[in-house]
Each structure stands twice: as structure tokens, then as C-alpha cells.
Amino acid sequence: MDKPFRIDRTTERRPTPDAFKSAISTATIDVLPLAKEVKRERTPGWCTYSDAFDSPEMEVLCGGINHKTATAGAIWRQGHLLHFGFDLTPEEMTERGQRLLINSIVYIAGFTEDRPIPHAPERALLRVGADRVVKKERPDKSYLEWYFTPEVRKQGHADDWGAFQTWYRQNRAFLRADRKQGGSLILDEDAKALNVAPGRPEFFPATIAALKEGVSKADRAATLLRRYAPLGPKETEAVAWQRWWEENRSYVFFSEAGWYRWYIDPLARKRGVPSTELRGAARAKR
């Protein structure tokens, strides 16, 4: 972010925000002040939890002091779109703040070929959020009921917190958000029955192999492929899916924020570059 203007990166020490203390143990943190009048009362800016940034066209460029988490993004990109969360007019900014704004605009202008990929019209609850809930020493009833459906709480014996924590660790890979449950997590019985984790790369080889087996396994595998890879072939024959997997394996990725499914990275496929290697500035127009 030093183009076209170099930004003075001399930091100042500020008290660690309360929201950061679970991740940062020091009493103060280094910051780059962007406002001319630091002590003036003003409307807070906007930041975004970066836990949901699980697709290749997204990147966090800058954080900031906030009331969420130490990793929340203040300046971040998705495809050709830029979020600049600092609520300051240029007149209220220091020179470094003004340069940061200009550099951000120049940076996003280079992403003419990239576009947002996951489709998430409603909010899917993420397992990384559930991880935080389950790690608590004692259950938080409101969060427990928000993240987990009544059926999951029953299956995991949530009334026995230690037992539920163990059950969660054993079944985490088979949990997914359900639209009918407002995005709360349910257990995918089909994936558990086949012992296939839908969010891992081995999902495709395992389900394609299951298509060649008995009717019960083949039906479950076909159901899982339709559920988690809707962009794949309409047929349920292993040959069609194997061909599709071989053609796209370098370009697919799994997104929980995009409702627990596999997507194809169109820019990676267009350029013939593995999606895992096409990140950040590499996605700008050549």
C-alpha cells in the first residue's frame, strides 16, 4: 500500500482495546494515527469480522482499533470491491490517512478482472465461531442456542458440557449451516455415514469412489455431491464426476460463508493458475 504515495509507518503506542485482550496480552499496541484530532468525539468507523473471508478473491489490507476482534478488517477487498472503514473525511485525516485513502483507491482500480465469488444472500453461521463458543469453560446459553439447532444440542448432550465439547470435536467436520434453521449448524448424517468431510479436498475422491459401490453408498455420495458441489455434473455417474474433478481440482475451494459448498475460482481457471497460488495482488489485471 505504498503506491503511488509512500506512507510514514512511524507508530504510536495506545492502550489495547478490551476486545483485543483475548488475543493480545500486552497493555498497549502499535497504531498509525489517521485522524488529525485524535481525542475528538466522532462516529465510529466500520470493520468486518475476517473469519468469513474464506474465498480466494478476498483479502484484508488493514485493521484498526475496533470493538470486535484484533483481526477484523478495516480496509479489505472482495473481487473488484473495496471496503474503506475509517469514518473520516479527507480534511479530518492526517497526511498518512489521506495517502492511505488514495493508495487504496489506486490499488482497487487494478482489479478489473476479479469479481466476488461466493453467493450468500443470508448469513450462514461458521464453525470457527462455534469453536469459540465450545471452548468456553461454561456454556453460554444464548450463543449455544444460536449456533446449534435443538437436534444438535440433543445429539451432543449439551446438558453435559464436557460431553458436548467432546462430541463437537468428534463431529465438527460433519456440521454445516442450514437455511431452514436460520443458518444454525446441523449434523450431516450422510457425510458422517460415509465418513467423508465435505470441506476437505479428499471429499471428491471419496465420494466419486463411493459412486461405484453399492446402491446405499452411491445414493449417499450422489446426495452429498449435489449438496456441496452444485456446479458439478448433473449426472451421478462416477466417470462424469471424475472428469469434472480432474478438470477443476486446481480451481475449486470450499466456503463456509458461502453456505458450505464448493465453488470454482473463475479467474484462476481463466489464467490456468491454481487458486491456492492466485491470491492478493496477484489477482490484479496483468
3-state secondary structure of 270: helix
Compute the distance between CA of residue 258 and CA of residue 137 in angstroms, rounded to an integer: 30
Question: What average pLDDT does range 251-277 have in this prediction?
Answer: 97
Taking all residues of the chain, what is their mean pLDDT, rounded to a whole number?
94
pLDDT digits 0-9 by tens, 155-202: 999 999 999 999 999 999 999 999 999 999 999 999 999 999 999 989
Other C-beta atoms closer than 10 Å to the C-beta of 184 total 22
Find out whether 175 and 130 touch, Cβ atoms under 8 Å.
yes
Say what the pLDDT of residue 16 is. Answer: 95
- Band of pLDDT at residue 131, cut at 50, 70 and 90: very high
Pick the more confident residue, 286 or 227: 227
Q: State percent of the chain over pLDDT 70.
A: 100
Say what the pLDDT of residue 44 is. Answer: 74
Q: Is the pLDDT of residue 247 over 90?
A: yes
Say what the pLDDT of residue 28 is. Answer: 95
Say what the pLDDT of residue 62 is. Answer: 94
Find out whether 185 and 148 touch, Cβ atoms under 8 Å.
yes
CA atoms within 13 A on the CB side of 227: 21
Say what the pLDDT of residue 233 is. Answer: 96
